[in-house]
Amino acid sequence: MPNGPSSVQAFDPRVIRRDFPILGREVYPGKPLVYLDNAATTQKPTAVLDALDTYYREINANVHRAIHRLAEMATDAYEAARSKAAKFIHAPNERGVIYTRGTTEAINLVAHAWGLRHVGAGDTILLTEMEHHSNLVPWQLLAARTGAKLAFIPVSESGELDLASLDRLLDARVKLVAFTHMSNVLGTVNPAREIASRAHAVGARVLLDGAQSVPHMPVDMQALDCDFLAFSGHKLCGPTGIGILAAKPDRIEEMEPFLGGGEMISKVALDHSTWAEPPHKFEAGTPDISGAIGLGAAIEYIERIGMDAIQAYERDLAAYAMAQLDTVPGLVIHGRAAERGAAISFSMAAAHPHDVAHFVDRDGIAIRAGHMCAQPLMRKRGVPALSRASLYFYNTREDVDALVRSLRGVQEFFGRAAR
């Protein structure tokens, strides 16, 4: 099994690309894949694919149940991955690192296990106008169930949060502030530490949606001082169906079980039960064992490259991409925050985003088109949908150039059709 990136020398995306088998394929005859949909999901390196294969071929067994050799090996690998995840995000301890299916389930877990106990009628849940539906709908459901209300930090035209509004929005009624660390639409990187500090000053708890930030930059949960941090494995070169909710020790103690069943119990009688200690208290049933092991392998792979190197490379690549996209006639980039990541959304006067995505797909280029699971933000910006190119450390300037050439073709084709 490969131990990490092919290159242990200076960061070289062309060498790193060799670790990702799918990046070498053609999606149509003569059209090599240019994968620019990384905000939706990332590709998987051989190290992760091998870890999944090894689990099923050599140690497939359930965890925390049996004492035979395979069960011990599977349990060790499963818990080792938890340790890697805890260290990767600098969680306070492993006890507060809970496996989930992804960011969406992690946020729902907080809404049910913590929110139903600590949010009530007259309380406020403070969000932002740029939230993904996964960090909006669970709070709508909680508010409807408890009588709480929702409030929102506005987003400026440049794609930045209006932090001046916090003086008006933050008061003793705010029980939770939940916001994205990095917008999946605008690319904005929000000042998480500042928002958390101001939220804590009025006694509110803080949930940070790290789905887009954890894969692209160093994230230190303790330094950011968030109470909850959620992220997904599949956006971090890991498998689908696995994610993490990390919580401060005090918050873990405030949470009731979300799902009941095997593994999350201590003792069971016919009429009552007691619970296992966290994190197992929140992991009912047979978990995604292979997914957890694959996530551990992905974290090891990423750490060998280095998050600082990844962030620096992506900043440079995103700046190049925005400069090149600005040369395409009729193209408008949505989101120009000073602090931003490598997710770049845009519209074109000549064509609907779905037509744009279909056109560039014929050139082997994969981008996203649609409302990006952020319909309120689309309405705020006056567009039904956008196109999005989202970059990762295995992308190159040549990938960007291929997209720009194809978009020039979009402009020429649909502009000519309009005439």
Q: pLDDT per residue over 36-64, tens digit each?
A: 999 999 999 999 999 999 999 999 999 99
Confidence of residue 9 (pLDDT cuts 50, 70, 90): very low
Confidence of residue 10 (pLDDT cuts 50, 70, 90): low
> In this predicted structure, what is the pLDDT of residue 388?
98
Average pLDDT rounded to a whole number, residues 351-367:
97
Instruction: Among 140-144, 185-189, 263-267, name the one with the lowest average pLDDT.
Output: 263-267
> In this predicted structure, what is the pLDDT of residue 1?
37
* Ordered structural domains, the chain, with CATH: 50-303 (3.40.640.10), 307-418 (3.90.1150.10)
> In this predicted structure, what is the pLDDT of residue 257?
94
> In this predicted structure, what is the pLDDT of residue 11?
81
Q: Which residues of 126-153 are buried (b: 16+ CB within 10 A; e: fewer)?
A: bbbbbbbebbbbbbeebbeebebeebbb
Place of tokens 């916090």: 166
Residue % of the chain over a pLDDT of 70: 97
Average pLDDT rounded to a whole number, residues 374-384:
97
What are the residues facing 100 on neighbouring strands? 243
In SS3 terms, the chain reads as CCCCCCCCCCCCHHHHHHHCHHHHCEEECCEECEECECCCCCCCCHHHHHHHHHHHHHHCCCCCCCCCHHHHHHHHHHHHHHHHHHHHCCCCCHHHEEEECCHHHHHHHHHHHHHHHHCCCCCEEEEECCCCHHHCHHHHHHHHHHCCEEEEECECCCCCECHHHHHHHCCCCEEEEEEECECCCCCEECCHHHHHHHHHHCCCEEEEECCCCCCCCCCCHHHHCCCEEEEECHHHCCCCCCEEEEECHHHHHCCCCCCCCCCCEEEECCCCEEECCCCHHHCCCCCCHHHHHHHHHHHHHHHHHCHHHHHHHHHHHHHHHHHHHCCCCCEEEECCCCCECCEEEEEECCECHHHHHHHHHCCCEECEEECCCCHHHHHHHCCCCEEEEECCCCCCHHHHHHHHHHHHHHHHHHHHHHC
Q: pLDDT per residue over 118-129, tens digit each?
A: 999 999 999 999
Give me the active site residues, please.
373
Q: pLDDT per residue over 277-292, tens digit each?
A: 999 999 999 999 999 9
> In this predicted structure, what is the pLDDT of residue 415?
76
> In this predicted structure, what is the pLDDT of residue 313?
97
Amino acid at the residue 313: Y
> In this predicted structure, what is the pLDDT of residue 5?
46
Average pLDDT rounded to a whole number, residues 344-355:
96
Confidence of residue 7 (pLDDT cuts 50, 70, 90): very low
pTM of the model: 0.95
Average pLDDT rounded to a whole number, residues 322-349:
97
> In this predicted structure, what is the pLDDT of residue 131?
98
Mean of the per-residue pLDDT values for the chain? Answer: 95
Average pLDDT rounded to a whole number, residues 66-93:
97
Q: pLDDT per residue over 171-196, tens digit each?
A: 999 999 999 999 999 999 999 999 99
Average pLDDT rounded to a whole number, residues 61-87:
97
